[in-house]
């Protein structure tokens, strides 16, 4: 049965909590929530068995989390603050893809974060302008386009076969319903280009690990290297994974090892 935390604007955030030990909160990426992402749910259960209290939640506007009056990066950070309070501070954050940018922003905003594990955060070039342009374009689609237009725009820079596969799958209506909740993903990625990263991330003192798969998109290794170079206590690593996806056992083992202080 789901539990619920209440964010600062009254939005109820649904989550599962399992295990016992130091808290870890799983921050979903662009197209994820518990009922649509069995891989992360399986990883959460495996991680809980390794001695952690694991919180897997539906971001606002997805799954069992209520629709909300707004979808901003500040809202997403406020939601995480409510979950940290529910789980017990400080908490580690595992950020998947663009969820990793949200996790970085939350840590930089001063949330009590004990550690960060970030999976293939698709960062653009430092001080680049593509993130801001993508955010502006997404907001335009949200204001004037159809739900299909919104998700198609968000996925425009991904491999074209990903978008074609999504459009032709039964999952497409679920994905298009998530359109408004994609704005914080785009805003978080734009934020990572808004200032020199050494300045932007200077306040993040938690141990941080930026992970990529052995087979990955060209953007991912430089992005992980940028995190490792600019977050004060960060490093990078590689796991057995491909196509921006991972196996639950592999990820749970790597996250647990890092959080337990093992290389």
Q: How many domains does the chain have?
A: 2
Count other Cβ atoms within 10 Å, centred on residue 149: 15
139 falls within a domain: yes
What are the φ/ψ torsions at residue 215 (nearest 5 degrees)? -115, 115
The answer on 153 and 109 residing in a single domain is no
Label residue 261 left, alpha or beta by phi (over 0 means left) and psi (-120 to 50 means alpha): left
What is the per-residue pLDDT for 67? 87
98 falls within a domain: yes
pTM confidence score: 0.97
CATH number, position 54: 3.40.50.1820
Q: In this predicted model, what pLDDT tens digit does every residue of 108-150 receive, in sequence order? A: 999 999 999 999 999 999 999 999 999 999 999 999 999 999 9
The answer on 119 and 17 residing in a single domain is yes
The answer on 43 and 143 residing in a single domain is no
SS3 label, residue 215: strand
The answer on 138 and 235 residing in a single domain is no
187 falls within a domain: no
188 falls within a domain: no
Taking the C-alpha atoms of residue 221 and residue 164, their distance in angstroms, rounded to an integer, is 25
189 falls within a domain: no
The answer on 77 and 170 residing in a single domain is no
154 falls within a domain: yes
Query: What token pair was written down for 146?
Result: 């159809």
Question: 33-40 long-range contacts, Cβ below 8 Å, gap at least 24?
Answer: 33/58, 33/59, 33/62, 33/63, 33/65, 33/178, 34/58, 34/63, 34/64, 35/63, 35/64, 36/62, 36/63, 36/171, 36/174, 39/245, 39/246, 39/247, 39/248, 40/96, 40/248
The answer on 86 and 29 residing in a single domain is yes
Domain of residue 52 covers 3-124+196-259
What is the per-residue pLDDT for 263? 64
55 falls within a domain: yes
What is the per-residue pLDDT for 196? 98
Taking the C-alpha atoms of residue 138 and residue 184, their distance in angstroms, rounded to an integer, is 11
The answer on 251 and 222 residing in a single domain is yes
The answer on 31 and 103 residing in a single domain is yes
- Extract the residue ranges of the chain whose pLDDT is less than 50: none
78 Cβ neighbours under 8 A, 6+ residues apart: 7, 8, 9
The answer on 144 and 84 residing in a single domain is no
Whether the Cβ atoms of residue 93 and residue 54 lie closer than 8 Å to each other: no
The answer on 254 and 143 residing in a single domain is no
Whether the Cβ atoms of residue 62 and residue 223 lie closer than 8 Å to each other: no
The answer on 142 and 111 residing in a single domain is no
186 falls within a domain: no
Residue count of the chain, please give it: 263
What is the per-residue pLDDT for 195? 98
**Residue whose C-alpha is closest to residue 115's, from 13, 257, 229:** 257
Taking the C-alpha atoms of residue 234 and residue 158, their distance in angstroms, rounded to an integer, is 27
């Amino acid at each position: 049965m789901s539990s619920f935390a209440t964010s600062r604007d009254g939005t109820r955030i649904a989550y599962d909590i399992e295990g016992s030990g130091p808290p870890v909160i799983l921050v979903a990426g662009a197209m994820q929530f518990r009922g649509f992402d069995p891989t992360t749910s399986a990883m959460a259960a495996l991680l809980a068995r390794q001695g952690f209290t694991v919180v897997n939640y539906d971001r606002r506007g997805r799954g069992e989390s209520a629709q909300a009056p707004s979808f901003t990066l500040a809202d997403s950070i406020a939601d995480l603050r409510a979950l940290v309070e529910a789980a017990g501070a400080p908490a580690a954050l595992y950020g998947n893809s663009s969820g990793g940018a949200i996790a970085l922003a939350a840590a930089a905003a001063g949330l009590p974060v004990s550690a960060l594990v970030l999976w293939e955060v698709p960062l653009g070039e430092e001080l680049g302008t593509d993130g801001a342009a993508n955010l502006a374009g997404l907001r335009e689609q949200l204001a004037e386009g159809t739900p299909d237009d919104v998700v198609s725009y968000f996925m425009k820079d991904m491999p074209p076969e990903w978008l074609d596969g999504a459009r032709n799958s039964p999952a497409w209506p679920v994905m298009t319903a998530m359109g408004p909740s994609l704005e914080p993903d785009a805003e978080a990625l734009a934020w990572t280009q808004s200032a020199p990263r050494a300045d932007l991330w200077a306040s993040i003192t938690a141990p941080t690990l930026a992970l990529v798969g052995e087979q990955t998109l060209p953007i991912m290794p430089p992005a992980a290297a940028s995190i490792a170079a600019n977050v004060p206590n960060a490093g990078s690593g590689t796991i057995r994974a491909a196509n921006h996806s991972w196996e639950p056992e592999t990820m749970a083992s790597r996250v647990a090892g890092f959080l337990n202080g093992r290389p």
